[in-house]
Chains A and B, each alone.
Chain A
Amino acid sequence: MNDEAEFLEYVQAGGLVETGDWMPDEYRARLVKFIEMHGNSELMGVLPEREWILRAPTLQRKLALTAKVQDEVGHAQLIFGVVEDLGKPRAQCLADLVTGKAKFHNVFHYPTHTWGDVGVIAWLVDAAAIVSQKALLKCSYAPYARIMKKICWEESFHILHGRDVVLALVTGTDAQHELVQEALDRWWGPLMQFHGHPIPAGEDPMVVWRIKSQGNEEARQQFLDGYVPQVWELGLTLPDPELRRRDDGVWEYTEPDWDELRAVVTGGGPCTQDRLDLRRRFLEQEAWVREAVLA
């Protein structure tokens, strides 16, 4: 097969693509960009969380949080392996990340302030991510679909850990309950933006090429349906007075701030530069080590 139309028909009929197969240039380019962004997000997601490993208030929480962050790094390893096999070496991906050429998801551009953030991130940010990741199990590019299996399996622990942290706080003192509520109030905006601007499936190239099997709005609806009731049942509120589930099952909400999303993912988030600087600093500092072990 070396015809784009034939290839499109093939993937739309459920056909799977392996590393050595012929693929249209556009498919390969979109794939690399998408998967690379995922890898970058796993790597950048580590930075807000790792500070709290050092501050974890019990041995159990310290272990669980270390394991979670370790998983994210492990995911990055798997993901960049897939990108490398598609033709873009890991070192190039990392270089593009720290120079701001490549993007990572909005949620990892924001600061963390309290232990409440730790719970909210592990529970709800990971939940939002897992909705997308489960849909990627059906990706037409088989090597990516295969690593998603391990990733989804490990993410399920993260959500449980997050929920456990939140539950401990909401059943603790008033001050602890307030830690979660305050964090939730700050994270809800970015969470609503996370799945991206709604794009009709027919107009979303990622869906057309069967890289994604689910549109942005579908993912957001799934997230809301799964998690808003869980938030409300804990006596927590969400800072959107318009948020409600219609009788037909569709969730209504205040239009997310798409300008904020655009500004953040293009490098203008509150923590973007600091975090990229940290990554760059350690990349440069430890370059000699990579030469010693990878040359």
Chain B
Amino acid sequence: MNERAQILLELADDELVIGWRDSEWTGIAPTLEEDVAFSSIAQNEIGHARAAYELAARELGTTPDELAFDRRPAEYRCAPLVELRLLDWAHAIARRYLYEQLDRARIEEMKRSDDAELASLAAKIDREEAYHRIHAELWANRLRDDPRFSQALDDLRPYAEATERVARTQEFAELWDEMTSVRRSMPGAQW
């Protein structure tokens, strides 16, 4: 696989998986207003994944849905931070906060790419991520004195710093299992 496809898949897989994780909060977030806002973030992320899969799919001769759903778990290239199942708010927000920092660096680099398509994709993503960053900052600021939040940041920092991108965890296997369950029940079907 060439470097371009690799970059796109890493971005797409990160956004797909964190979008999937973030959408786990739809309907059960701490307040109704936050539930709506958090769900928009999840949808943006899936949208970014889809756009990146579209470019990668053209390179690899397949379709975005096939890339998103039909690979084996070990073929995904997402960052360790996004795979974690975090169903308490302190950790969910801490992950968003750390992810936005990582993603910003990646997107800034992509924006400077000589590849016009990649640069354009990065610019579009960045315009939406600006609001994700504001959201993460709002919460980080609000919870900065809460030990639950600082503990969560400490718990997650090692994952944010880890660089290996092969999804081997049990958690990811369970995510993949649920994510692909309907699709695998009728391979090749249109939905």
A and B associate in one complex = yes
Q: How far is the CB of B176 from chain A (nearest CB, A)?
A: 11
CB pair B36–A59 under 8 Å, yes or no, is no
Cα distance A286–B42 in the bound complex, in angstroms: 20
Q: How far is the CB of B55 from chain A (nearest CB, A)?
A: 14
Measured CB to CB, the nearest residue on chain A to B42 is: A66
Cα distance A53–B29 in the bound complex, in angstroms: 15
CB pair A115–B182 under 8 Å, yes or no, is yes
CB pair B26–A61 under 8 Å, yes or no, is no
Task: Tell yes or no: A262 within 8 A of B by CB.
Answer: no
The stretch among B2-10, B97-105, B123-131, B140-148 that forms the contact with chain A is B140-148
* Cross-interface CB contact of A46 among B26, B31, B88, B181, cutoff 8 Å: B26
Within A87-125, the residues touching B (CB, 8 Å) are 90, 115
CB pair B182–A56 under 8 Å, yes or no, is yes
- Interface contacts (Cβ under 8 Å), in number, total 117
Question: A1 contacts which chain B residues (CB < 8 A)?
Answer: none
CB pair B27–A50 under 8 Å, yes or no, is yes
Chain A residues within 8 Å of chain B by Cβ, number: 47
**Residue from B50, B179, B181, B190 with most neighbouring chain A CB atoms (10 Å):** B190
Task: Tell yes or no: B162 within 8 A of A by CB.
Answer: no
Measured CB to CB, the nearest residue on chain A to B28 is: A282
Task: Tell yes or no: B33 within 8 A of A by CB.
Answer: yes
* Cross-interface CB contact of A74 among B36, B53, B178, B183, cutoff 8 Å: B36
Cα distance A43–B24 in the bound complex, in angstroms: 15
**Residue from B29, B32, B49, B182 with most neighbouring chain A CB atoms (10 Å):** B32
Interface SS majority for chain B: helix
Task: Tell yes or no: B18 within 8 A of A by CB.
Answer: no
Within A164-187, the residues touching B (CB, 8 Å) are 165, 168-169, 171-173, 175-176
Cα distance A261–B144 in the bound complex, in angstroms: 48
Chain B residues within 8 Å of chain A by Cβ, number: 42
Task: Report B106-122 CB contacts with A as 1/0, cut-off 8 Å.
Answer: 00000000000000000
CB pair A168–B191 under 8 Å, yes or no, is yes
CB pair B26–A286 under 8 Å, yes or no, is no
CB pair A76–B32 under 8 Å, yes or no, is yes
Question: B36 contacts which chain A residues (CB < 8 A)?
Answer: 70, 73-74, 77
CB pair B182–A57 under 8 Å, yes or no, is yes
Task: Tell yes or no: B150 within 8 A of A by CB.
Answer: no
Question: A286 contacts which chain B residues (CB < 8 A)?
Answer: 29-30, 88-89
CB pair B183–A293 under 8 Å, yes or no, is no
Question: B30 contacts which chain A residues (CB < 8 A)?
Answer: 286, 289-290, 293
The stretch among B61-69, B73-81, B165-173 that forms the contact with chain A is B61-69
Q: List, sorted by A's number, 17 A–B pairs whose CB atoms are closer than 8 Å.
A: A46-B27, A47-B27, A50-B27, A52-B182, A54-B178, A56-B182, A57-B65, A58-B69, A59-B53, A63-B47, A66-B26, A66-B43, A73-B26, A173-B186, A285-B89, A286-B89, A290-B31
13 extra interface residue pairs, beta carbon distance < 8 Å, beyond A54-B24, A293-B31, A294-B31: A54-B178, A55-B182, A57-B69, A58-B65, A58-B183, A66-B23, A73-B26, A73-B35, A282-B28, A285-B88, A286-B30, A289-B30, A292-B143
Residues on A lying within 8 angstroms of B by beta carbon are 43, 46-47, 49-50, 52-59, 61-63, 66-67, 69-70, 72-74, 76-77, 80, 90, 115, 165, 168-169, 171-173, 175-176, 278-279, 282, 285-286, 288-290, 292-294
